[in-house]
Amino acid sequence: MAKKARKIGAPKIAHVFKTYSYFRVRKSRVKKNKRNQMMNYRHYTYRVMWSEEDQEYIGLCAEFPSLSWLAEDLQKALAGILDVVRDVVVDMQKNGEALPEPLSSKSYSGKFQVRIPPERHKALAIRAAEEGISLNRYVSDKLCA
């Protein structure tokens, strides 16, 4: 069976376009790379999972959410998405476009702010108090469950 690439939410495509313009990342979501040096495409975040809809494995890259690769085999799906990302990175470099920063190179403080309705905030605080833990610990446990 022929390898396939497709944009998520779009009809299946029989091949990957040579120009890759179909798979461009919006510039607003891209952070400029220092000195515009060649990015190692293997440093991006990849995931391979089974697609019930396609009855094949689908390879994805978190930093390029519009890219995917379908294959009958798990390893082929990973190899396919790696190849597509590599080609897109090379193409973007040639055109002087900024590349997305790999998630692995970002630092995280462990803090983020969530806005919720006051009633929900109160209910969560009550549940945390009933369990004898802080609201932060309670919410963290629920998010990670």
| DSSP per position, 16-80 | --SS-GGGPPPGGG-PPPGGGPPP-GGGS-EEEEEETTTTEEEEEETTSTT-EEEESSHHHHHHH
Query: Do 115 and 69 sit in the same domain of this protein?
Result: no
Query: Do 24 and 57 sit in the same domain of this protein?
Result: yes
Domain carrying residue 91? 4-105
Residue 8 scores a pLDDT above 60: no
Query: Per residue in 57-99, pLDDT tens?
Result: 999 999 999 999 999 999 999 999 999 999 999 999 999 999 9
Query: Per residue in 113-140, pLDDT tens?
Result: 999 999 999 999 999 999 999 999 999 9
Query: Do 24 and 54 sit in the same domain of this protein?
Result: yes
Question: What pLDDT does 73 receive?
Answer: 94
Query: Do 75 and 121 sit in the same domain of this protein?
Result: no
Question: What pLDDT does 31 receive?
Answer: 44
Query: Do 52 and 123 sit in the same domain of this protein?
Result: no
Query: Do 116 and 68 sit in the same domain of this protein?
Result: no
Query: Do 69 and 10 sit in the same domain of this protein?
Result: yes
CA-wise closest residue to 82 among 97, 94, 71, 96 = 71
Question: What pLDDT does 127 receive?
Answer: 94
Query: Do 17 and 86 sit in the same domain of this protein?
Result: yes
Query: Do 22 and 48 sit in the same domain of this protein?
Result: yes
Residues 99 and 58: beta-carbon distance below 8 Å: no
Any idea what the Cα angle at residue 87 is, between residues 82 and 90, rounded to 5°? 125
Query: Do 83 and 31 sit in the same domain of this protein?
Result: yes
Residue 46 scores a pLDDT above 70: yes
Residues 39 and 89: beta-carbon distance below 8 Å: yes
Question: What pLDDT does 145 receive?
Answer: 84
Indicate the pLDDT class of residue 22, thresholds 50, 70 and 90: very low
4: number of Cβ within 10 Å: 18
Query: Do 94 and 113 sit in the same domain of this protein?
Result: no
**H or E segment and range at residue 90:** helix 74-94
What percent of the chain is modeled with pLDDT above 90?
65
- Reading the block at residue 41, the tokens are 């495409």
Query: Do 88 and 126 sit in the same domain of this protein?
Result: no
